[in-house]
């Protein structure tokens, strides 16, 4: 379920905090989710109204933070980690997204740097969950709405989820 699914393709969601919070509560309380083991919420980076509303109004067993390798992206994750610690919400770990691109020869190219996310995890004791590479087939599949069965990323993520 996505807010984007309820709006037109080119229609922006231009809402202030109270409108976003109201929509969140409607999604959480009015949608028929069935019986869930896990509910995954993909949120924008940061420590804004939506994160705080979720933290204050719903039972959260844990969060997985995601960062790209750049130091500037990691700044948002550091702030989010601090917020979740202050709110007594467990941090399951951090995933590093867009970690590298592997060319046809098998050479890995770290386009956005490397090591910052792992160092932060080591320094803070937060579990480093792994690296997600840039895979063109995922991007193409997402653009076409094609499920990514049998691809490298799905296999890698499946393995990570089994660990959790």
Nearest to 42 by CA among 53, 50, 33, 34: 50
Structure confidence by residue, pLDDT tens digits, 50-108: 888 888 888 899 999 999 999 999 999 999 999 999 999 999 999 999 999 988 898 99
Burial profile 5-19: b = 16 or more Cβ within 10 angstroms, e = fewer: eeeeeeeeeeeeeee
Higher local confidence (pLDDT), 5 or 27: 27
Q: What is the pTM of this model?
A: 0.80
* Distance, CA of 115 to CA of 48 (rounded, Å): 27
* Distance, CA of 79 to CA of 121 (rounded, Å): 13
Helix, strand, or coil here: 95?
Answer: strand
134's tokens: 């840039």
154: pLDDT confidence band, cut at 50, 70 and 90? low
């Amino acid at each position: 379920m996505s807010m984007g699914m309820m709006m037109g393709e080119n229609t922006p969601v231009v809402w202030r905090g109270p409108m976003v919070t109201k929509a969140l509560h409607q999604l959480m309380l009015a949608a028929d989710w069935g019986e869930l083991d896990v509910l995954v919420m993909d949120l924008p980076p940061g420590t804004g109204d939506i994160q705080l509303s979720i933290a204050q109004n719903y039972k959260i067993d844990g969060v997985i933070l995601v960062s790209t390798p750049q130091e500037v992206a990691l700044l948002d994750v550091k702030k989010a980690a601090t917020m979740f610690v202050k709110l007594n919400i467990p941090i399951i770990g951090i995933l590093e997204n867009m970690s590298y691109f592997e060319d046809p020869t098998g050479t890995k190219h770290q386009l956005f740097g490397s090591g910052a996310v792992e160092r932060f995890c080591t320094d803070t004791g937060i579990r480093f969950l792994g690296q997600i590479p840039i895979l063109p087939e995922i991007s193409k599949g997402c653009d076409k709405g094609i499920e990514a069965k049998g691809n490298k990323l799905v296999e890698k993520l499946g393995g990570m989820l089994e660990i959790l």
